[in-house]
């Protein structure tokens, strides 16, 4: 069975530790790791439903595992493929689009990167330039994941957090759709690479709900802990429309009414049906 390591870029503590992987808008920090985690979770589900075994070493929404530790582990596990999921940033806010990196001497990684670019275009999204970057020594493209892995490895930058249009898809109102589509782009490219015909199970048909565990709990009008809305009570159940995301020291869900609520498992229980 084919085994793919899904490498979630960075960790839940990267920003706090000065790693600077994210973007600030209107005083709210949006961390790259959270987006990478959402894509990875959906990709994991899609690959397994297509008969591909997966390995997630860096766990979603969890503290960062260092790059050397990651590649040592992938090499020791001898996985067939390492796919690293990221979002880009630039001081040029007009920079947008998606791209993939492969080690410059690795023809199989290049073939896979080309499949990614092809699927990006099939899905109607733009690429950053040609969408293809050779990762090379002695330049800014000298990426650890591409260089230190013994097997085929690709690193994707799935849009620019610093661009207005891409931001809406990565963190904003378009996130649910975008995460679903980007995960499918990855899954289709990987299936084509291994000669497996991709079967879509119709997406995240499992709807998430949260049940209130606390006696009473605040909701919020916006993703801001100071912007309190109304109190909800123990036993009430709400439909999740935006999955767990980071807000200034904690995590929130957005619920169907449009309000926001803490994702702290002490106060809410999440389940699917
Ligand atoms: Zn990154």
CA distance 116 to 25: 29
CA distance 162 to 205: 31
CA distance 43 to 36: 10
User: Which CATH architecture group holds 3-193?
Assistant: 3-Layer(aba) Sandwich (3.40)
Q: What is the pLDDT of residue 241?
A: 81
Residue 104 has pLDDT above 80, yes or no: yes
d(CA 156, ligand 1 centre) in Å: 9
Kindly report, residue by residue over 158-178, the tens digit of the pLDDT: 999 999 999 999 999 899 899
Residue ranges, comma separated, of all CATH 2.30.30.40 domains in the chain are: 208-272
Q: What is the pLDDT of residue 202?
A: 66
Q: What is the pLDDT of residue 141?
A: 94
d(CA 162, ligand 1 centre) in Å: 13
Q: What is the pLDDT of residue 244?
A: 80
CA distance 139 to 107: 19
Kindly report, residue by residue over 190-248, the tens digit of the pLDDT: 999 999 999 997 655 567 899 999 999 999 998 899 999 999 999 999 998 887 877 77
d(CA 89, ligand 1 centre) in Å: 8
Residue 52 has pLDDT above 80, yes or no: yes
DSSP alpha helices (H): ranges in 123-201? 144-148, 164-170, 175-193
Split at pLDDT 50, 70, 90, the class of 83 is very high
What is the CATH code for 208-272?
A: 2.30.30.40
Q: What is the pLDDT of residue 243?
A: 77
Residue ranges, comma separated, of all CATH 3.40.630.40 domains in the chain are: 3-193
d(CA 197, ligand 1 centre) in Å: 29
Q: What percent of the chain has pLDDT over 70?
A: 98
């Amino acid at each position: 069975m084919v085994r793919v390591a899904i490498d979630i870029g960075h960790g839940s503590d990267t920003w706090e530790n000065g790693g600077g992987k994210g973007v600030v808008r209107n005083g709210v920090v949006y961390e790259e790791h959270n987006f990478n985690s959402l894509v990875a979770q959906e990709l994991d589900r899609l690959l397994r439903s297509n008969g591909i075994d997966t390995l997630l070493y860096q766990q979603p929404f969890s503290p960062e595992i260092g790059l050397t530790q990651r590649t040592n582990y992938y090499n020791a596990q001898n996985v067939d493929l390492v796919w690293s999921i990221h979002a880009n940033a630039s001081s040029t806010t007009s920079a947008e689009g998606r791209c993939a990196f492969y080690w410059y001497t690795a023809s199989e990684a290049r073939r896979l990167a080309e499949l990614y670019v092809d699927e990006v275009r099939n899905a109607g999204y733009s690429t950053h330039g040609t969408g293809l970057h050779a990762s090379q020594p002695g330049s800014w493209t000298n990426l650890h994941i591409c260089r230190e892995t013994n097997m085929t490895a690709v690193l994707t930058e799935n849009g620019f957090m610093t661009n207005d249009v891409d931001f809406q898809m990565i963190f904003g109102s378009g996130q649910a759709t975008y995460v679903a589509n980007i995960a499918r782009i990855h899954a289709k490219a990987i299936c084509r690479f291994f000669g497996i015909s991709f079967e879509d199970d119709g997406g995240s048909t499992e709807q998430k709900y949260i049940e209130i565990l606390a006696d009473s709990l605040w909701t919020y009008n916006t993703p801001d802990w100071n912007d309190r809305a109304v109190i909800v009570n123990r036993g009430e159940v709400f439909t999740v429309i935006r999955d767990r995301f980071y807000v200034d020291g904690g995590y929130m869900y957005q619920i169907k009414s449009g309000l926001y609520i803490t994702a702290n498992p002490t106060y809410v229980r999440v389940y699917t049906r």
